[in-house]
Amino acid sequence: MRVLVVGGTEFISLHLVRALQRDGHRVAVLNRGRRSERLPSGVERLVADRKDPAALRAALGGQRFDGLVDVTYAPTTGEDVAAMLDAPAAVGHVIFVSTARVYDHARPIPYDEDTPRSLYWGEYAKHKIAGEDVLLARHRDRGLPVTIVRPTHVYGPLNTRNNETFFFDRLARGRPVLVPDAGGWLRQFGHVEDLADAMAAMLGNPAASGRAYNVMGEETITQVGFVELIAEVMKRPLTVVSAPTPAGGKAAPFGQNLAYDCHAVHTTTRVRAELGLRPRYTLGAGLAHTLAWYTREGLDKRDVDFGAEDALLRSLGAR
């Protein structure tokens, strides 16, 4: 298949490019051309800002793609998704990377794909729901094959979110780890290669058409349990310092986006039952794989400013 990946040069979309090439597809990417040196050879490069419909038409006009995977959030509205679909002469199967944050997180866990969507997660949820609805309408009204993928926290090599690396940084230096309150909110993670492999496997599969899928690892773990697992993977001693969140105030730093106060737990039954897809990585194995990348890249030696964190630790009597 000739497949267009929107994005292609950072994290999820770059892993997807690699998975598609491995599976023998011809891959084109569309992005603003800022990190083209990261692309593997043989990838066709199309340059446009996805927020600019005229630029999209100039870059994609007359082109035909058997598959299109819309990964990049820029922030991408429903109109932006429609403009992406309208710019080429023809598109086959379209996969849209949405998010599990479309679900109403005020409801009891776990969330399956039929959980009502809501604006619990604000603008981000609003835009993702609008993007999903554009695809679902194209499927319903024009018969376009579409699939919606809803990941939760994605981790792995090249992660642009400072989540697992946040804890690697502290444990590698023998530092204590601050945990907001009791650290008891449940989280679920998915390895980026498992997500990329799942999307590559869905492309062109009629069973996936018109469907939305949660795609993530099976295990759920509390915030503090995640830190404990990382310490075990790193074989480092761990000192946890609980930091009470002041009423109406900000939680202690805990990775880039893991410090929010609700559970995030989802079922993966549908993608397993309908498509036979399951992850290769357990959370422990995936973290070990990510740690190997972090060490290889020398990120354990990078400069990190712990000034604010040290002040908080001192105020808690832990320094």
**78, 88, 145, 151: which one contacts ligand NAP (CB under 6 A)?**
151
Q: Does 200 help bind ligand NAP (rule: CB under 6 A)? A: no
Q: Is residue 214 within 8 Å of 266, Cβ to Cβ?
A: yes
- 51 makes contact with ligand NAP (CB under 6 A): yes
Contact call for residue 35 and ligand NAP (CB under 6 A): yes
Cα dihedral across residues 70, 73, 78, 83: positive or negative: negative
Binding of ligand NAP at residue 13 (CB under 6 A)?
A: yes
Is 311 exposed, middle or buried, given 0-12, 13-18 or 19+ CB atoms closer than 10 A? exposed
Query: For ligand NAP, which stretch binds (CB under 6 A), given 47-55, 226-234, 280-288, 304-312?
Result: 47-55
Give the three-class secondary structure for 22.
helix
Q: Where are the alpha helices (DSSP H) in the chain?
A: 12-22, 53-60, 78-86, 122-142, 164-172, 192-202, 223-234, 269-275, 283-296, 307-315
34 near ligand NAP, rule: CB under 6 A: yes
Shortest Cβ distance from residue 12 to ligand NAP (Å)?
A: 3
Indicate which single residue of 71, 172, 203, 224 sits in contact with ligand NAP (rule: CB under 6 A): 71
What's the min distance (Å) between Cβ of 16 and ligand NAP?
A: 8
CB-count exposure of residue 243 (10 Å: 0-12, 13-18, 19+):
buried
- Distance of closest approach, residue 9 Cβ to ligand NAP, in angstroms: 4
Residues from 101 through 130 that contact ligand NAP (CB under 6 A)? none
What residues line the site for ligand NAP (CB under 6 A)? Answer: 7-14, 31-35, 49-51, 71-74, 97, 99, 151, 153-154, 160-161
